[in-house]
Amino acid sequence: MTRPCALRGAVFAIAKRSGAAVLIKAFVKVNDLAGNFAVLISSVLLVYIVGHITLEIAMRHFFESSTFSMDEFVGYAIGAMTFLSLAHTFRYRKHIRVSILQSFVKGRVALAVELLCIAFTFGITLFLARYIWRTLERDFTRGTVSPTLTETPIWMVDAVIFVGLVLFLSQLLASAVLAIRDGVPEDEAVE
């Protein structure tokens, strides 16, 4: 981990006196809890996927029948798992990272690079979240359903994606605050 620079120390010394440090700590804790809960939901969805596929195989093999929904619901579950896992994956730095530049920069430059990357990611994710929100609002208002036998309300799928993106945005903010406060963590040091 990089050593905190004087500016960071001064900013957080002021923050400690004003009570902002307590708010930062609470924000990071709530964010971690929300990310952990989302990963728990993703884990349950993985178990569901295995169960649904197993049921489908058994029904087709033994009863020459089908649930007629396996591909649709498994697809929804995979999408939900992906978006709900974003925040937790980012928090623990388990996402795919190109760290070539980080190995050459240290200190303030490393912090600047980290914050710039977080800012770009935040902007792109915010744009995507805004688009998903508009889609969610439209699908809910119109009562759009999937064109399958189950006629699943599409707004439910949009809502899970939106929640995953909001959790990710929140984690990006928390990561920026932690980077400013503690410095840029080494990839192998975060566990």
What is the pTM for the complete model shown?
Answer: 0.85
> Given this model, what pLDDT does residue 1 score?
46
* H-helix or E-strand spanning residue 12: helix 6-18
Consecutive 10-residue runs of the chain (191 residues): their mean pLDDT? 51 61 90 96 97 96 93 96 96 79 81 92 98 97 95 96 98 94 72 46
Instruction: Output the CA angle 44-47-50, nearest 5 degrees.
Output: 150
> Given this model, what pLDDT does residue 123 score?
98
> Given this model, what pLDDT does residue 134 score?
98
> Given this model, what pLDDT does residue 189 score?
47
DSSP one-letter code for 3: P
